[in-house]
Amino acid sequence: IGDKGVQVLDPFTGTGTFITRLLQSGIIKKENLKYKYTEDIHANEIILLACYIAGINIESVYSDLVKNEKYKPFNGIVLTDSFQLYEQDKDLIANLLPDNSQRRTNQKNKDIRIIMGNPPYSSGQTSADDNAANIKYSNLDKRIEETYAANSKATNKNQLYDSYIRAFRWASDRIGNEGIIGFVSNCG
């Protein structure tokens, strides 16, 4: 994980806890830290405020670790819905946030080998009053249908489209045939 060229992604970064802990862990050698920070570490967040907080947290930890170096912004963070990344070529806010859109495009072209973090657990709307309806992701849901649903003996396969299960399908497809997925379990 600490070697140059090993791409790491936290697709549901929240406030950046997993990335900050990775930087603080000592797993990344001092001589590789700047390269990893600028080239190999990526984080996605869908909520604007959390995305800003994550960026600040990651930058702050990095600055503490490299004390005497000039401030370097963390350009590995993207304001996006990770599930939406492969649903369409251009994100809906590309015109409003062109730098973010470019980081999104760059990240999609990276050979991600490690995906870690805390995926969403929402199973969506349970009643009409919830206002928490599941979002449809045509490509991702098709992959679930072709894999998990096709191989399941369950009669009710609706739970396979829960965001937690989607996170595993998305991550598995993202790393392809080689890589590591490390997600926090919801004990389900």
Distance CA 123, CA 136 (A): 13
User: What dihedral angle (degrees, nearest 10) is formed by the CA atoms of 150, 151, 156, 161?
Assistant: -70
Distance CA 51, CA 82 (A): 13
Amino acid at 74: F
Per mean pLDDT, which range of 14-18, 98-102, 167-171 is the poorest?
98-102
E strands, 38-107, are 41-45, 77-79
Could you read off the pLDDT of 159-169 as tens digits, one per residue? 888 899 999 99
Enter the pTM of the model.
Answer: 0.89
The helix-helix angle for 48-65 and 17-24 (nearest 10°) equals 10
Radius of gyration of the chain (CA): 17
Could you read off the pLDDT of 119-128 as tens digits, one per residue? 988 655 555 5
Could you read off the pLDDT of 36-48 as tens digits, one per residue? 999 999 999 999 9
Distance CA 60, CA 81 (A): 24
E strands, 80-130, are 112-117
